[in-house]
Amino acid sequence: MALISQSEFARKQGWSRQYVSKLVKAGKIQLVKGKVDPQAALAAIDAQSEPSTVLRTEPPRQSVLPAAPTDSRQAVDFVTARTMREAFKAKMAKIEYEKETGKLTDAARVKEEAFSAGRMVRDALLGIPDRQADVLAAESDPAKIRQLLVDELETILNELSRP
């Protein structure tokens, strides 16, 4: 029965000095003249421990240099990821600002309004033959027919361009 100090017992077991002191205060390890009997202490700990509890093992130590990443997604370090996140947040803030100030609008809404405007122009132009057929049929002068068509087109386009 070789007695050793608490700190040496902790070092041999791979524990901290504070953990051994905690075990002593909890009564799991009995001191003999202020020293620890390693065999008796380990036997006492084993007797008082929960058998279903898995003891922690030391994780395998990695080399000083980590292995080179095999995937490009792993190659992004923390600083780069943080920079990318901040840039994304700045872009999103800019988009929100432009939406609120009216400089930016929804693409679906623009498509819908463009389709509606195109439909109005198409309908107005397709109405020309119905409105001008009788007038043009009565004319025999090509210059006069041309002028009537130009006037009708200008009227339609001016009406459509008003807000």
Q: pLDDT of the chain along its 163 residues, tens only?
A: 689 999 999 999 999 999 999 999 988 899 988 899 999 999 888 887 766 665 555 666 665 655 555 555 556 688 888 999 999 999 999 999 998 998 988 889 999 999 999 999 999 999 999 989 998 999 899 999 999 999 999 999 999 888 7
Residue spans of the domains in the chain: they are 6-48, 107-161
- What are the residues whose beta carbons fall under 8 Å from the beta carbon of 36, sequence distance 6 or more? 3, 4, 5, 6, 9, 20, 29
- What is the reported pLDDT for 87? 96
Task: Say how far apart CA 10 and CA 30 lie, in whole Å.
Answer: 14
What phi-psi label fits residue 131: left (phi over 0), alpha (psi between -120 and 50 degrees) or beta?
Answer: alpha
The residues facing 4 across adjacent strands are: 36
CB atoms within 10 A of CB 116: 9
Full-model pTM: 0.39
Query: 49 in helix, strand or coil?
Result: coil
